Amino acid sequence: MQTRCKPGDIAVILYDEPSCLLNVGRLVRIHPTLKLNPSYQLECWLIEPLDPAPWAVSKVDGTVYTKPIGLADEIEHPDAWMLPIKDEQGFNVMTQEEVDAYDRIQKRIDESLVEMGAVDKNMHPVV
């Protein structure tokens, strides 16, 4: 099967389920292994966020929680919902400086979401 991402890629989240749209636009590193997620019926990778901001995570029972996540949390995300950031030769193009700059921008976006009232200070969506 042809996939967009491969292990080691840095990718941007393009889509997430409606209760987890807070994650759209975030950067992740792709980790093995690609497997079919029965909930989505899509091929999913293990992901590791590149920023420490909280993520919205949907559990199998449908409940959603928001917390900082790491590789140890074993969060999966569909390949079709991510786009690797690569140059025309197919190489990753983000340096650590660019990742750090992204982190600063993401922090400003998160602060703006709180100011707008879209999320609370713990990054939980305001309903």
The answer to whether 49 and 69 are in contact (CB under 8 A) is: yes
Q: Is residue 28 part of a domain?
A: yes
Q: Which domain holds residue 22?
A: 10-116
Cβ atoms of residues 51 and 106 within 8 Å: yes
pLDDT digits (tens, 9 = 90+) for 72-126: 899 999 999 999 987 666 666 666 677 777 777 778 888 888 888 877 877 777 7
Instruction: Determine, yes or no, domain membership for 125.
Output: no
> Could you tell me if residue 39 is inside a domain?
yes
Contacts of 67 (CB under 8 A, 6+ apart): 54, 55, 57
Decide if 76 is inside a domain.
yes
Residue 83 structure tokens: 């786009």
pLDDT value for 15:
94
Confidence band, pLDDT 50/70/90 cuts, at residue 39: confident
Position 127 confidence tier, pLDDT thresholds 50, 70, 90: low
pLDDT surpasses 90 at 37: no
Residue 121 in any domain: the answer is no
Residue 36 included in any domain = yes
- At 110, give phi and psi (nearest 5°): -60, -45
> pLDDT by residue (tens digit) across 51-68?
888 899 988 788 888 888
Asked, for residue 59, whether it belongs to a domain, the answer is: yes
Compare 111 and 44 and report the one with higher pLDDT: 44
Q: How many domains does the chain have?
A: 1
> Residue 14 — very low, low, confident or very high, per pLDDT cuts 50/70/90?
very high
| Distance set, CA 17 to CA 24, 67, 82 (Å) | 10, 17, 13
pLDDT of residue 77: 95
Closest CA to 3 of 93, 69, 86: 86
